[in-house]
């Protein structure tokens, strides 16, 4: 990506000038890593990119995709967010399993079967439609709005907050980690369901990964601040977005697994990128 192209991208996305450092220390090495793996395996490779809310994973995935294109490789950037279950499907889970499953995000609220099918399509000759989730309406966008790509692609960058995560041991679920779990899941039904889904269907999905990259925050405490920044941008663009209290409650849904990922995944990830409180990578 030329300096002019990068400057335009930073301006268009409303990113700080410091993002140039992220490109140099994360995006360019990520593209190089994916390129080497594609050359070695001579087939479509799937790079998992895990990072907490607000860590910049979607932007990093898109820039890395563009850098791969400059290397002559076809690439697709997928977000786990685009595979959320529809609003109605989550309402049904909320009625039948636990009310907290109405909130999208934790394992159990994604269409894992669809995600696996799309990854498989990206490896086969033809064309693949990439699902899109409309967060404004809280449901999946119509299929006619899904972009399509020619397949097979050389590289898939599959990003999401729990990509590559593994389940906790049952004993870890006994104690609530925050007020949400204590007050709204006192019997542990919700967190047990989330953990079971992560240990089952999600492992089948993550089994398609050829590499796993973790964007590691300094700790869970910075996540609410990062999410607040995201919501501020959303309010500026659309007039919507959550209040501070709504953000705090929303982030509580992610606390248990975010803390678990930060403690457990660095030992397994192919590459861990440490981020400071401003989302800047440590050199």
Tens-place pLDDT, residues 81-102: 999 999 999 999 999 999 999 9
Q: Which two tokens stand for residue 4?
A: 């002019």
Least confident window among 64-68, 159-163, 279-283: 279-283
Q: Is 139 exposed, middle or buried (0-12, 13-18, 19+ CB in 10 A)?
A: middle
Phi, psi dihedral angles at 46 (to 5 degrees): -115, 120
CA distance 196 to 170: 10
Report the pLDDT value the prediction gives residue 221, as an integer from 0 to 100: 84
Report the pLDDT value the prediction gives residue 248, as an integer from 0 to 100: 82
State the residue for tokens 């609220």: 109
CB 51 within 8 Å of CB 265: no
Least confident window among 13-17, 28-32, 156-160, 172-176: 13-17
CA distance 249 to 109: 17
Q: Which two tokens stand for residue 127?
A: 């064309």
CB 149 within 8 Å of CB 130: yes
- pTM (two decimals): 0.92
CA distance 50 to 216: 8
Q: Which two tokens stand for residue 73?
A: 């490789």
Least confident window among 69-78, 100-109, 136-145, 205-214: 136-145
Three-state secondary-structure class, residue 212 = strand
Query: Which whole number is the average pLDDT over 223-245?
Result: 70
Domain at 43-55+76-274: CATH code: 3.40.50.300
């Amino acid at each position: 990506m030329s300096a002019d192209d990068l400057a335009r991208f930073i301006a268009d996305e409303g990113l700080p000038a410091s993002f140039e450092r992220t490109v140099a220390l994360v995006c360019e090495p990520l593209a190089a890593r994916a390129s080497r793996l594609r050359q070695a395996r001579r087939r479509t490779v799937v790079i998992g990119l895990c990072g907490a809310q607000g860590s910049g994973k979607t932007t990093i995935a898109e820039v890395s995709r563009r850098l791969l294109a400059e290397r002559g490789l076809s690439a697709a950037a997928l977000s786990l967010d685009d595979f959320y279950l529809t609003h109605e499907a989550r309402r049904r889970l909320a009625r039948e399993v636990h009310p907290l499953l109405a909130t999208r995000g934790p394992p159990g609220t994604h269409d894992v079967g669809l995600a696996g099918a799309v990854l498989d399509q990206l490896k086969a000759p033809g064309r693949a439609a990439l699902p899109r989730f409309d967060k404004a309406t809280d449901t999946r966008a119509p299929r006619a709005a899904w972009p399509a790509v020619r397949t097979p692609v050389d590289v898939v960058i599959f990003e999401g907050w729990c990509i590559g995560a593994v389940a906790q041991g049952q004993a870890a679920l006994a104690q609530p980690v925050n007020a949400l779990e204590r007050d709204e899941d006192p019997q542990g039904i919700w967190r047990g369901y989330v953990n079971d889904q992560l240990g089952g269907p999600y492992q089948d999905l993550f089994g398609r990964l050829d590499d796993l990259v973790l964007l590691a925050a300094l700790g869970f405490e910075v996540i609410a601040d990062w999410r607040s920044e995201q919501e501020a941008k959303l309010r500026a663009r659309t007039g919507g977005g959550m209040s501070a209290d709504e953000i705090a409650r929303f982030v509580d849904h992610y606390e248990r697994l975010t803390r678990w990922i930060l403690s457990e995944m660095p030992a397994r990830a192919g590459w861990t990128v440490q981020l400071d409180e401003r989302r800047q990578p440590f050199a």
